[in-house]
Structure 1
Amino acid sequence: METVPGYDVAGVVVKVGSEVKDFKLGDEVYGNVNEKALEGPKQFGSLAEYTAVEEKLLAVKPKNFDFAQAAALPLAIETAYEGLERTGFSPGKSILVLNGSGGVGSLVIQVFQNFSPLCMIHIIAD
């Protein structure tokens, strides 16, 4: 049996189940189909032409993002948040983000500022 890879997904809703409440046909959505990535890959398939995804794993795509931008976010944001969570960060604490200009590093800064809007020093090496 073939495996279709991919976790991050962005696309247009073409069919909804009878219990779906938050989305309708034509909605532009994005998300991550692998709900329990830290426990090990359980579900793949976002690189298929069509894929079935649980409603709770999707969000409405921001209008100012194209599909490629939206598909690049879910796993990177989850990685940034999980990294912060594992440090035990809390409001008032300081952190050092090395390579804060990269994909995950820049998201760590944004997530951290949402919880603790303190002055932050960002170092970039040439």
Structure 2
Amino acid sequence: MTVELMRDVDELDGAERSLVAGRVGAWEVMVGGGPDEFVVTATSADGARIANALSPLAPSDSALDDDDDDDDDDDDTVDLTVGGQAVDYPRQYVLSRAEVSAAITDLTAQRLSPDRWELLE
């Protein structure tokens, strides 16, 4: 399913097509956004765990706090359309296509490291 899911991710345009879903191992996975920036959320089969992929490229909170332009919150969020709904996502959740592929690989291997995943239980 991972190959098909990544093929579907490649078709996301952030307008007409902005959400795909599929199963990766024991996870129900949703990828939204496109064409260049995405968010990934996975839910365990029993619904007890939710995992949000994190971008390792996102600036740290302290780096954002040190920014001289306190009036500009645009650096903290990215506007994405997911499922037809425009949302300002916190930058740490916004991934490139390569990061989406790495996140899918993590889920397949059941390897959810805390520096790349936010786990909610």
The alignment's TM-score, normalised by the length of structure 2, stands at 0.25
- Structure ID, larger Rg: 1
The alignment's TM-score, normalised by the length of structure 1, stands at 0.24
